[in-house]
Structure formats: C-alpha cells, structure tokens
C-alpha cells in the first residue's frame, strides 16, 4: 500500500527541527532531516527571536527532507510578527520572555477585570499572552504601522506560500478567543482597543494553507506543487494530539522548555476556582480543550547549564541521580523564573528564602530542579483532576523530557501513578498525523493514537511508594 511522506517543521524555544514522517495504513516512521539551535538575541530594544535564522533553518531542513507530499508547521505559542501594508515584516518578533509586559496586567484588569477575562477566554494569566503583549505595544510605532499580525507558524507559512491565515489552536493562546464558541472574543478585544482586523481569517488543523512558492522550490530543490497543510500549529496542541493514549483515563505532561501538565477535555472549565489555580483552556484538535497548567519546565535546567558553560548533560544527570531525593525544592510554577539569567543563583536564593538547604554543586542544583519539576507535575495533575472532576489512572509524558529517565521516574513517584513516556518528538508526530489525516491516510484522533501506540517505542515507569514525602515537600512551599 502507498506510503506518503510529510515534512513537520517543529520550532521549540530551544531548537527547531524539520522531521520527515512516512505514513502508511499501519506504519509510521519519523526521521530527523535537520535540527538547528533557536537562540534568542538581546538587542538594544529587548529580547528578540532570530526569525530569519529560523526561516533559513526551515529552508535548509526542507532541502534535506527531500520530496514530500505536504509540509506542516508548528511552533511555540503567543508570539507574532507584524506586517506593513506591503506585507513586509516590521522588525524582529519580540520574545515572550522580554520584559515589556511586566506591568501591563494591572492596566488590562482595570478595563476588563481578571475574573471577567477568564470567564470570556479561559486563559491562565501569563504576562506573555498575546493580549498583554499587544496592550504593552499599544503606543509603539510598529503597531501603528501594522496592517497584519501573524503568529509565528502562520508567519512562516506566509513566507513559504504567500497565503495568510490564523490557525485556531495557536490563536487560542492569544487570549482573544472564546473557548466555548471557538471564535474571536470581540467584546474583550474591543474593550481593550485591540483591532481584530489585524488577524487573518481563522483556519483549522487540516485546512489547506497554500503551496510552496517558486522561490522556495528553487531554494529547497523540491518539485512543485508541494502543499502546505495547517496542523495544530501550537506545538503543545500537536504534542497532545500525539499522546499515545487508548481508552484509559489519562493526564499528560508535555516536557520540553516548558512542562505543560493537564487533561484533554470536551469543554472548558471556566470556574473561579480554576482561574485562581491558574489553569488554562487552550483549544486542541477536533473540539477538544487542553486544560493545563504551565510549569517552568526544563528551562530551569537549560539556563543553569548555560551558566555553567555547557557541561555534558548525560554526566550531569547521572550525578544528580546520586543526590538524595527532596533535599530542597522550589516552586517550578513561579513566574519569577521566567526571565533569562543567573538561574543557579536564583534557585539558591529561593531555597534559602524557604529555609531549606542551599544546593551548591551543579549536581545538587540539577537534582533540586528535577525534584521541583516532579513536584509541580504532581500538583498540576492533582489539581486538574479535582477542578475538572476528571480522575485519571495514568500519566503520559511526551517531549524532550522523556529522554530524562530520572525526571520520568520522579514524576511517577510524585504523582503516585504509572508514567508512560514517549514519544520524544511528539509535536512533530502530531504535526505529521494531522497532515496525513487531511490527505485521507489516518482516521480520527483515536485512530491517530492507536497508530502511535503500535509504532512508537514507549517506556513505563511505576511509582515507587512514599507519596507522603512528596506531600511534605509540597507543604514546604505552601505553608510558609
């Protein structure tokens, strides 16, 4: 039977990759065509994405991928490029860790109170939600000159095809979408003076998004026409689509630069309790809601590793495994860890402030980070079950963090539930499968997941008792 090839462009905050998925009726194989670092740049104006470098990586990756039946693009959420009336990019896209949104929330809430904003959009408070970024940019010359706003995957799609759209799963991270209607929240936008006319029309995963332009074909050596297909263009939407779950009741944790921990639901949870717990309702495939909490994730470790001059990660993790469990923990959900810089010191300070032993060596700091992440995973999985009244029996862990066996085991221990880890490149697989489905190759979401279960290597971690110790560690952070 025919096997088709799909290129998945997946841009994470730490690296970009172009993967090739080969899909047959009962087969799914993923190979890496090209991987390139994603390094933000500190400019005189602030922290920016190197969007041209990333686009260059995409083109190089498509060339390495060779002839494919379609291309799909996903990336991190919330950020965007602005285009002028000629369709030219106005400046480098601002990085979501840039400081410009630091004091914007109060201004927004004075117009639309936080409770109302949550009831209308279902989005957690995060300073970087597109809504806050747009309010922060309100009086900038760039925004004044902008005719169009394209989220990062939509911007790259535009450069590849010349066609503009706003893909829905990623649009749901702007905080300008109503998760019940899955349409723009016009009332919120107009009260905050945000012009929804900046956004191109909504498109949904599986929709056609044009064909590669002649200059792109020339640059990549591909033979046209090569269609681009809209996927769950928010990387977390694609990753959740590739959670290899069957009919069990499950929670998931997407672990990479961030940990996104929560549930897949049929409807948003918009209660005041849910808002207070800072859970978000992002939109997933096929009418699903991604009910989850953002946890700082392996960013904490990435930043320490950078500060330590890039030691070998494997050796560091082996040493960290020898450090006693739960000596000190920090609140890995704390937005205080959002900005770059001085991470080992900031972690040490947090331990000192909560009266715990201060980790000194890189191995000790690493262990503190992994214990803290596992603890935050436990808390999110517990809170989600309670807030959504949706109990689970197993936790699926996907993304780069599945390569960290210690983190997976600690997460099983902390949650007191079995963890099934894999696939590592979940976002790319979700991206590929949505393209395959749009071209008639796989069935519904459940069918996609069955194919993953049959074809992808997964590792199971059983919890090692002692849930009480994790509860006690949680108290150190909350009962101060």
Per CB under 6 A, 288 contacts ligand ADP? no
- Say if CB 116 and CB 109 are below 8 A apart: no
CA distance 297 to 281: 19
Q: Which does 302 bind (CB under 5 to 8 A by kind): ligand ADP, ligand LRH, none?
A: ligand ADP
Beta strands 394-398; 419-421: pairing state: parallel
Q: Which tokens go with 236? A: 């977390």
Q: Which stretch binds ligand ADP (CB under 6 A): 166-174, 279-287, 362-370, 395-403?
A: 395-403
Q: Which tokens go with 289? A: 């809601």
Out of 4, 14, 50, 140, name the contact with ligand ADP by CB under 6 A: 14
Taking the complex as a whole, the smallest distance from the CB of residue 15 to ligand ADP amounts, in Å, to 5
Which CB atom, from 28 or from 369, has the smaller least distance to ligand ADP? 369
- Say if CB 245 and CB 361 are below 8 A apart: no
Taking the complex as a whole, the smallest distance from the CB of residue 427 to ligand ADP amounts, in Å, to 7
Counting residues that bind ligand ADP (by CB under 6 A) gives 17
User: How remote is the C-alpha of 408 from its chain's centroid?
Assistant: 18
Per CB under 6 A, 430 contacts ligand ADP? no
DSSP lists the bridge partners of residue 291 as 263, 281
Q: Which does 426 bind (CB under 5 to 8 A by kind): ligand ADP, ligand LRH, none?
A: none
| Cα angle for residues 162, 95, 60 (degrees, 5° grid) | 45
Helix spans in 294-421 (H)? 299-307, 313-322, 343-353, 362-388, 405-415
Taking the complex as a whole, the smallest distance from the CB of residue 270 to ligand ADP amounts, in Å, to 28
Q: Which stretch binds ligand ADP (CB under 6 A): 132-140, 196-204, 400-408, 438-446?
A: 400-408
Q: Which stretch binds ligand ADP (CB under 6 A): 8-16, 97-105, 154-162, 346-354?
A: 8-16
Q: Which does 401 bind (CB under 5 to 8 A by kind): ligand ADP, ligand LRH, none?
A: ligand ADP
- 235 counts as catalytic: yes
CA distance 315 to 317: 5
Q: Which tokens go with 326? A: 């739960």
Per CB under 6 A, 429 contacts ligand ADP? no
Per CB under 6 A, 217 contacts ligand ADP? no
CA distance 362 to 355: 20
Q: Which does 294 bind (CB under 5 to 8 A by kind): ligand LRH, ligand ADP, none?
A: ligand LRH
Sign of the four-CA dihedral 323, 328, 333, 336: negative
* Alpha-carbon separation of residue 63 from 37, 97, 218, 221, 400 (angstroms): 17, 31, 10, 6, 25
Taking the complex as a whole, the smallest distance from the CB of residue 410 to ligand ADP amounts, in Å, to 13
Q: Which stretch binds ligand ADP (CB under 6 A): 159-167, 278-286, 313-321, 456-464?
A: 313-321
Q: Which residue has the tokens 């194989």?
A: 29
Which CB atom, from 6 or from 49, has the smaller least distance to ligand LRH? 49
- Say if CB 83 and CB 163 are below 8 A apart: no
Which CB atom, from 196 or from 313, has the smaller least distance to ligand ADP? 313
Q: Which tokens go with 116? A: 């109302």
Task: Point out which residues bind ligand LRH (CB under 6 A).
Answer: 12-13, 76-78, 96, 234-236, 257-258, 260, 294
φ, ψ for residue 431, nearest 5 deg: -60, -50
* Alpha-carbon separation of residue 169 from 100, 108, 134, 182, 222 (angstroms): 25, 23, 19, 9, 29
Largest separation between any pair of C-alpha atoms in the chain: 63
CA distance 321 to 129: 36
Which CB atom, from 192 or from 316, has the smaller least distance to ligand ADP? 316
Which CB atom, from 28 or from 254, has the smaller least distance to ligand ADP? 254
Among 262, 297, 293, which Cα is nearest to 278's?
293
Per CB under 6 A, 401 contacts ligand ADP? yes
Taking the complex as a whole, the smallest distance from the CB of residue 233 to ligand LRH amounts, in Å, to 10
Q: Which of 154, 235, 383, 413 is catalytic?
A: 235
Q: Which does 14 bind (CB under 5 to 8 A by kind): ligand LRH, ligand ADP, none?
A: ligand ADP
Per CB under 6 A, 21 contacts ligand ADP? no
Taking the complex as a whole, the smallest distance from the CB of residue 435 to ligand LRH amounts, in Å, to 19
Per CB under 6 A, 298 contacts ligand ADP? yes
Q: Which does 400 bind (CB under 5 to 8 A by kind): ligand LRH, ligand ADP, none?
A: ligand ADP
Give one DSSP letter per residue of 248-263, joined into a string: S-EEEEEESSSEEEEE
Which CB atom, from 292 or from 323, has the smaller least distance to ligand LRH? 292
Taking the complex as a whole, the smallest distance from the CB of residue 17 to ligand ADP amounts, in Å, to 8
Which active-site residues does the annotation give? 235
Binding site for ligand ADP (CB under 6 A): 12-15, 256-257, 298, 301-302, 313-314, 317, 399-401, 403-404
């Amino acid at each position: 039977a025919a096997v088709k090839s799909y290129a998945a462009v997946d841009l994470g905050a730490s690296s970009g990759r172009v993967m090739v998925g080969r899909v047959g009726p009962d087969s799914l194989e993923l190979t890496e065509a090209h991987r390139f670092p994603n390094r933000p740049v500190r400019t005189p104006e602030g922290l920016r994405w190197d969007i041209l470098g990333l686009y260059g990586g995409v083109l190089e990756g498509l060339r390495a991928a060779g002839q494919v039946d379609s291309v799909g693009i996903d990336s991190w959420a919330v950020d965007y490029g602005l285009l002028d009336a000629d369709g030219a990019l106005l400046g480098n896209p601002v990085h979501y860790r840039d400081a410009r949104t630091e004091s914007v929330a109060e201004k927004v809430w004075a117009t639309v109170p936080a409770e109302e904003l949550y009831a209308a959009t279902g989005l957690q408070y995060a300073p970087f939600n597109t809504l806050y970024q747009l309010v922060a940019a309100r009086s900038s010359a760039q925004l004044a000159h902008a005719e169009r706003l394209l989220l990062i995957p939509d911007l790259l799609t535009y450069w590849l095809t010349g066609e503009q759209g706003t893909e829905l799963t990623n649009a749901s991270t702007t905080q300008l979408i109503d998760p019940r209607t899955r349409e723009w929240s016009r009332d919120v936008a107009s009260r905050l003076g945000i012009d929804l006319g900046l956004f191109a029309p909504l498109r949904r995963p599986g929709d056609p998004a044009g064909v590669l332009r002649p200059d792109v074909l020339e640059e990549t050596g591909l033979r046209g026409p090569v269609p681009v297909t809209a996927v769950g263009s928010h990387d977390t939407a694609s990753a959740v689509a590739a959670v290899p779950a069957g009919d069990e009741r499950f929670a998931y944790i997407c672990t990479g630069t961030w940990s996104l921990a929560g549930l897949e639901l049929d409807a948003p949870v918009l209660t005041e309790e849910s808002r207070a717990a800072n859970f978000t309702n992002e939109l997933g495939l096929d009418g699903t809601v991604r009910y989850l909490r953002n946890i700082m994730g392996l960013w904490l470790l990435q930043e320490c590793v950078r500060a330590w001059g890039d030691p070998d990660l494997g050796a560091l993790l082996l040493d960290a495994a020898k450090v006693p469990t739960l000596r000190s923990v920090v609140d890995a959900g704390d937005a205080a860890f959002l900005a770059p810089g001085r991470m080992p010191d900031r972690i040490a300070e947090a331990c000192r402030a909560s009266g715990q032993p201060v980790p000194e060596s890189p191995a000790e700091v690493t262990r503190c980070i992994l214990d803290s992440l596992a603890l935050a995973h436990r808390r999110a999985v517990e809170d989600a079950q309670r807030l959504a009244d949706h109990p689970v029996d197993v936790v699926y862990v996907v993304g780069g963090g599945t390569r960290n066996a210690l983190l997976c085991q600690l997460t099983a221990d902390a949650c007191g539930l079995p963890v099934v880890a894999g696939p590592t490149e979940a976002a790319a697989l979700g991206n590929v499968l949505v393209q395959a489905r749009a071209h008639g190759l796989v069935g519904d979401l459940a069918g996609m997941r069955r194919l993953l279960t049959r074809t992808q290597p997964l590792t199971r971690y059983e919890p090692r008792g002692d849930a009480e110790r994790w509860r006690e560690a949680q108290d150190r952070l909350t009962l101060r």
